[in-house]
Amino acid sequence: MTDAYVAIEGERVIEARSRSPGTTRGELVFTTAYTGYEESLTDPSYEEQLLTFSYPLIGNYGVREERFESDRIHPRGVLAREMTDDVAEWLQEEEVPGVDHLDTREIVTEIRDEGAMKCGIAAGPDATEEDAIEQLHQCKHMSEHTDIGSQVSVRDATVHNEGGSGPDVALVDCGAKGSIIESLIERDAVVHQLPYDATEAEVEAVDPDVLFISNGPGDPENFEQAGEIVEEFVGELPLAGICLGQQVVANALGGRTEKMEFGHRGVNQPVRDLRTDQVVMTTQNHGYTVADPGDKLEVTQRNVNDDTPEGLDNEDLGIITRQYHPEANPGPHDSLSFFDDVIELAEE
Q: Which residues are annotated as a binding site for L-glutamine?
A: 45, 216, 218, 244, 247, 285, 287-288
Distance (Å, rounded) from C-alpha 178 to C-alpha 68?
Answer: 8
Is residue 101 annotated as a catalytic residue, yes or no? Answer: no
Helices (H), the chain: 37-41, 85-93, 104-114, 129-138, 149-152, 178-186, 200-206, 224-233, 244-252, 337-347
Distance (Å, rounded) from C-alpha 347 to C-alpha 127?
Answer: 57
Q: Which candidate in 27, 48, 69, 327 is catalytic?
A: 327
Q: Compute φ and ψ for 314, nearest 5 degrees.
A: -150, 100
List binding-site positions.
45, 216, 218, 244, 247, 285, 287-288
CB atoms within 10 A of CB 155: 10
Q: Which candidate in 243, 264, 286, 310 is catalytic?
A: 243
Nearest residue to 8 (alpha-carbon basis) of 164, 115, 147, 148: 115
Is residue 325 annotated as a catalytic residue, yes or no? Answer: yes
Q: Compute φ and ψ for 227, nearest 5 degrees.
A: -65, -40
Residue type, 244: L
Distance (Å, rounded) from C-alpha 259 to C-alpha 292?
Answer: 12
Contact at 8 Å (CB) between 245 and 284?
no
Is residue 243 annotated as a catalytic residue, yes or no? Answer: yes
Nearest residue to 55 (alpha-carbon basis) of 75, 21, 84, 76: 84
Distance (Å, rounded) from C-alpha 276 to C-alpha 145?
Answer: 39
Q: Compute φ and ψ for 265, nearest 5 degrees.
A: -145, 110
Query: Catalytic residue positions?
Result: 243, 325, 327
